[in-house]
């Protein structure tokens, strides 16, 4: 093949659209330039990937990195460091910071904060509210914007879109797929009294019960169809909802979380207490089984972490005043590789859920697969490596993980972003190089 390469990955098993193949990958600049058997003398840098599997860069499309305003929990530097250490090459960050991300100025502030500090590529969601509903069609097209995020429940102030009229107004402004947190706010308020003085986090799925999720999702799908708007429904936690979505795949895509696939009530609340508290809640084995069925039958389109760290001091507050959320971006890939090892899903399905799926849902440019002309984003993993996840390994400012002490088989060995190695053998390398993710539907600055 003519010319030399800036980087060649040699000797690994490469997950291409054609399947897993033992080939070399040549990178020129930031793009994949060759796939095949390449000469050893063609590269400025060569990585021996013998014994490793080279996956398309993992994309985590739901994280909360808390900057600006809540940086005692996390910030863009620490959050993206955790992503890189966990084999994640790109993240989409949520708008419920302080201030909320509601305007072009808010978005630009986040992009400026990420420049030179973010270890991985990134985009930021624009929050939806009655304040900016009529402007969302323009805001969603800004460079660096992942799209619009709607909170139908579990938020406060201007980010809460609880009533049908405002929801329909938001959905009628714009054309990109909208990400939705679907819980019925009115039912949450009605049922709060059931747990208000309980100090028992095991009641969390009783307060935020199945009907709270099902009622909201049915409302959402009806209004989305009326408005003619595609939606992406986040962190589905119930088997019941998974029976609904196959009838609406023309307008709705589905995300599930590592936590809902791995933890189950009541055991998680007995072991972890409020550390297992999140919204929507971790439910019992029946619902986890239903989510796994939905992965196997194709209902689920992607997996996210919903990385939402709080300090241990905050988590120690008596339930239900304790905040919901747990870290997850750094553990997403190791935990899911362990599920592959234990036979719950195939490696090819994991790639679809963590790379190709996010790229398809959000129309990401040049990411999500190992193919000529695509960004040279790779997650190099050892499928046979046995490791124990510990709090000490975590880069998050929160300093803990619900998976502390969990033994897994399958581990990220290196993270490569646009042809540059940012993590290898558990250490970050060089300086942060993360850049805004590009989308097919957004206005891009001239290169």
Structure tokens at 197: 């003085």
pLDDT at 162: 85
Picking from 119, 102, 123, the residue whose alpha carbon sits closest to that of residue 111 is: 123
Give the DSSP letter string of 5-38.
Answer: BSEEEESSEEEETTEEEE-EEEEETTEEEEEE--
Picking from 430, 374, 433, 379, the residue whose alpha carbon sits closest to that of residue 49 is: 379
Helix residue ranges, H only, 353-416: 357-362
How does pLDDT run along the chain (447 residues), one tens digit per residue?
446 899 999 999 999 999 999 999 999 999 999 999 987 677 889 999 999 999 999 999 999 999 999 999 999 999 999 999 999 999 999 999 999 999 999 999 999 999 999 999 999 999 999 889 999 999 999 999 999 999 998 766 678 898 999 999 999 999 999 999 999 999 999 999 999 999 999 999 999 999 999 999 999 999 999 999 999 999 999 999 999 999 999 999 999 999 999 999 999 999 999 999 999 999 999 999 999 999 999 999 999 999 999 999 999 999 999 999 999 999 999 999 999 999 999 999 999 999 999 999 999 999 999 999 999 999 999 999 999 999 999 999 999 999 999 999 999 999 999 999 999 999 999 999 999 999 997 776 655
pLDDT at 43: 83
CB neighbour class for 156 (10 Å; exposed up to 12, middle 13-18, buried from 19) = exposed
Picking from 378, 428, 368, the residue whose alpha carbon sits closest to that of residue 49 is: 378
CATH number given to 57-362: 3.20.20.140
Sign of CA dihedral 54, 441, 242, 262: positive
Between CA 130 and CA 349 the distance in angstroms is 38
Q: Is the peptide bond before 373 cis (omega within 30 degrees of 0)?
A: no
Q: What is the CA radius of gyration of the chain?
A: 21
**Looking at beta carbons, which pairs linking 316-319 to residues 24 or more positions away fall under 8 Å?**
316/274, 317/274, 318/199, 319/195, 319/198, 319/199, 319/200, 319/201, 319/203, 319/204, 319/274, 319/277
Between CA 316 and CA 310 the distance in angstroms is 10
**What average pLDDT is seen over the chain?**
96
Q: Is the peptide bond before 280 cis (omega within 30 degrees of 0)?
A: yes
pLDDT at 1: 47
The reply to whether 7-54+373-428 and 57-362 are identical in fold is no
pLDDT at 158: 77
Between CA 315 and CA 76 the distance in angstroms is 21
Query: Could you tell me the residue ranges of all domains in the chain?
Result: 7-54+373-428, 57-362
Q: Is 249 helix (H, G, I), strand (E, B) or coil?
A: coil
Between CA 407 and CA 390 the distance in angstroms is 9
User: What are the beta bridge partners of residue 435?
Assistant: none
Is 166 in contact with 150 (CB distance < 8 Å)? Answer: no
Is 439 in contact with 363 (CB distance < 8 Å)? Answer: yes
Spatial CB neighbours of 424, under 8 Å, sequence gap ≥ 6: 413, 414, 415
CATH 3.40.50.720 matches 7-54+373-428: no
Picking from 230, 352, 370, 249, the residue whose alpha carbon sits closest to that of residue 296 is: 352
Q: Strands of 298-406 (E only): list them.
A: 302-304, 378-388
User: How many CA atoms lie less than 13 Å away from 360 in the CB half-sphere?
Assistant: 16
pLDDT at 441: 78
pLDDT at 39: 74
pLDDT tens, residue by residue, 321-363:
999 999 999 999 999 999 999 999 999 999 999 999 999 999 9
The pairing of beta strand 427-428 with beta strand 420-424: antiparallel
């Amino acid at each position: 093949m003519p010319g030399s390469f800036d980087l060649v990955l040699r000797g690994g098993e490469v997950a291409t659209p054609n399947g897993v193949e033992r080939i070399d990958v040549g990178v020129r600049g930031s793009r994949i330039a060759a796939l095949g058997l390449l000469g050893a003398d063609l590269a400025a840098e060569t990585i021996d990937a013998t014994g490793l599997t080279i996956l398309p860069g993992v994309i985590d499309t739901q994280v909360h990195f808390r900057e600006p305003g809540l940086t005692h929990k996390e910030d863009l530097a620490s959050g993206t460091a955790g992503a890189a250490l966990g084999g994640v090459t790109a993240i989409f960050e949520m708008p419920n910071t302080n201030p909320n991300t509601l305007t072009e100025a808010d978005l630009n502030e986040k992009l400026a904060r990420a420049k030179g500090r973010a270890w991985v590529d990134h985009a930021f969601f624009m929050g939806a509210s009655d304040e900016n509903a009529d402007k969302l069609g323009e805001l969603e097209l800004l460079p660096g914007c992942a799209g619009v995020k709607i909170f139908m429940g579990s938020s406060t102030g201007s980010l809460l879109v609880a009533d049908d009229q405002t929801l329909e107004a938001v959905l009628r402004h714009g054309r990109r797929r909208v990400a939705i947190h679907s819980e019925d706010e009115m039912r949450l308020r009605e049922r709060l009294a059931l747990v208000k003085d309980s100090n028992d986090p095991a009641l969390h799925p009783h307060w935020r019960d199945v009907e709270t999720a099902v009622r909201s999702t049915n409302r959402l799908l009806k209004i989305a169809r009326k408005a003619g708007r595609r939606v992406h429904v986040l962190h589905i936690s119930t088997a019941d909802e998974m029976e609904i979505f196959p009838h609406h795949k023309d307008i709705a895509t589905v995300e599930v979380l590592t936590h809902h696939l791995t933890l189950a009530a009541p055991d998680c609340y007995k072991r972890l207490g409020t550390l297992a508290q999140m919204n929507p809640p971790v439910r019992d084995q029946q619902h986890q089984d239903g989510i796994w069925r939905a992965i196997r039958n194709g209902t689920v389109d992607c997996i996210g972490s919903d990385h939402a760290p709080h300090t241990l001091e905050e988590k120690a507050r008596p339930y239900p005043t304790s905040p919901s959320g747990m870290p997850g971006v750094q553990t997403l890939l190791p935990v899911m590789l362990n599920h592959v090892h234990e036979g719950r899903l195939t490696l090819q399905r994991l790639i679809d859920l963590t790379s190709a799926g996010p790229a398809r849902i959000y129309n990401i440019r040049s990411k999500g697969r190992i193919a000529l002309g695509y960004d040279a984003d790779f997650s190099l993993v050892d499928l046979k490596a046995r490791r124990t996840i510990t709090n000490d390994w975590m880069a998050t400012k929160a300093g803990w993980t619900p998976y502390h002490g969990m033994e897994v088989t399958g581990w990220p060995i290196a993270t490569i972003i646009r042809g540059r190695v940012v993590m290898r053998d558990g250490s970050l390398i060089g300086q942060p190089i993360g850049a805004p993710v590009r989308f097919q539907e957004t206005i891009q600055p001239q290169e």
